[in-house]
Amino acid sequence: MPATTARKAGKRSVSKAKKVVRKVLSRTKIGKKAPHNESATVGRSASYKRSGKWAVKAKNKGKFPVVKAPAKKEEAKTKAPRFYAAEDVPKPFNRRNVVKPAKLRDSITPGTVLILLAGRFRGKRVVFLKQLPSGLLMVTGPYKVNGVPIRRVNQAFVIATTTKVDVTGVDVAKFDDAYFAKAAVKKSKNADEFFATAKPTEELSPARKADQKAVDSKILAAVKKQEFLKPYLNSRFSLSKGQNPHAMVF
Amino acid sequence: QAHTPGSRAIIAMSEGKRLVETGRVCLCNYGANLGKLVVIINVVDGRRVLVDGPNADPKKAVKRQIMPLARLSLTTIKCDIMPGARINTLTKAMKAADVVGKWNAGSWAKGMAKKEAKASMGDFDRFKMMVARKTRAKAVNKAMKKMVKK
């Protein structure tokens, strides 16, 4: 066994137990693997020394620390269930997957003109405003230009063009997913209402109209500054013969 | 008629043929150096040549290397160098012959630039192009109608 007694300078005020621990630690190299040239069979005392149990004892005044078993909790008395399923009910797996909002493409920044590829306004070019917490993109036509209101759009169904509109100063902080969520439809229990062919169309609230105006006013001013941008936003995108989207620059 | 190498060259020049020779400016038509101009420094064999393409723009420069002739399209431009000319001599000779200037003035380079500009058009640019074509067509048709009426 190597007999290196490493005396550490400046530690003379340390308690006796610690001194013993440090001295023997350095000698027996606790925590380090035995050198491979030493024989595998180690005597009981050597293995005890190496395990470091004596150090635990030394720390705890010559005895092993006693850990009390945690008090057993009294089990709540449960009633027998009223219903037993005839066949085994499959238990769903534990899902630890957290759905994160989609990462916004680098090509999409506030003010980017996007081409919508699906939905009612497919082919329309709209102005991107911000990404909502759910991951969907908030866009606007502007409404006066091409009839697209402030709306949510999925990033996957959008082509980002290189054209940008200046949207600094447009306040979109108050818009979130709750704003755009559809109002819960009341299920009618009245037979007449259920079979009514003409469903009552909801008028757009004046608050929504005001919001649309507030958002669009600055964007319209910016659109006017760029020549041909207004008719461009009003037009619809389509592919013609010989055009390959993968080879086109947008 | 005995055709000596010299006379052959003279005949070729008069006919406008482009020869593989020291000083011949070529365009790389394949590989990593696609679209870059190089000068033939020496001929290795029937298939390969030693080329070099110094350029102030590092993106357009080609390091001295042996290239197969299949990767090169010969141009009508030549510069006056000895076989094996080194880079400084080559650069001077290219300047003297105004290789880059002659190249850019030619329809070949202009056609390439046009193609590149068209391919790099964005969606908005394509829209503006369409508007421009329509306005021009309108004006032309209007003038035509006037002429036809007369």
With CB atoms and an 8 Å threshold, state whether A228 touches B127: yes
Of A235, A237, A249, the CB nearest to B122: A249
| Three-state SS annotation for chain A | CCCCCCCCCCCCCCCHHHHHHHHHHHHHCCCCCCCCCCCCCCCHHHHHHHHCHHHHHHHCCCCCCCCCCCCCCCCCCCCCCCCCCCCCCCCCCCCCCCCCCCCCCCCCCCCEEEEECCCCCCCEEEEEEEECCCCCEEEECCHHHHCCCCEEECHHHEEEEEEECCCCCCCCCCCCHHHHCCCCCCCCCCHHHHHCCCCCCCCCCHHHHHHHHHHHHHHHHHHHHCCCHHHHHHCECCCCCCCCHHHCCC
Report pLDDT for A60: 79
Bridge partner list, B49: B43, B67
> Is residue B48 in a domain?
yes
Residue A175 to chain B, least CA–CA distance (Å): 29
pTM confidence score:
0.65
Give the count of domains, chain B.
2
Residue range of the domain that includes B142: 110-149
Residue A193 pLDDT class (50, 70, 90 cuts): low
Residue A232 to chain B, least CA–CA distance (Å): 7
* Cβ proximity of A139 and A128 under 8 Å: yes
Instruction: Count contacts between A and B (CB, < 8 Å).
Output: 33
Residue A194 pLDDT class (50, 70, 90 cuts): low
Quick one: tokens of A119? 């939905």
> Is residue B36 in a domain?
yes
Residue A198: left (phi > 0), alpha (psi -120 to 50), or beta?
Answer: beta
Report pLDDT for A18: 73
Mean pLDDT of A145-153: 95
Helix (H) or strand (E) holding B41: strand B37-43
Residue B33 to chain A, least CA–CA distance (Å): 21
Report the C-alpha gap between A45 and A54 in whole angstroms: 11
Which segments in chain B show pLDDT lower than 50?
A: none
Q: Find the residue in A nearest to B117 (Cα).
A: A249
pLDDT tens for residues A67-107? 888 877 777 778 888 888 888 888 888 888 888 889 999 99
Q: How far is CA A135 from CA A14, A98, A104, A182, B147, in A?
A: 60, 14, 8, 17, 60
* Cβ proximity of A1 and A27 under 8 Å: yes
pLDDT tens for residues B80-95? 999 999 999 999 999 9
Report pLDDT for A99: 82
Report pLDDT for B1: 53
pLDDT higher than threshold 70 for residue A49: yes
Q: What is the ipTM of this complex?
A: 0.70
- Both B31 and B62 in one domain: the answer is yes
Report pLDDT for A91: 87
pLDDT tens for residues A200-234? 667 788 889 999 999 999 999 999 999 999 999 99
Q: List the CATH number of the domain containing B44.
A: 2.30.30.30
- Both B119 and B78 in one domain: the answer is no
Report pLDDT for A192: 67
Report pLDDT for A29: 58
Domain A101-182+229-237: give its CATH code. Answer: 2.30.30.30
- The full set of domain ranges for chain A reads 101-182+229-237
- Both B52 and B31 in one domain: the answer is yes
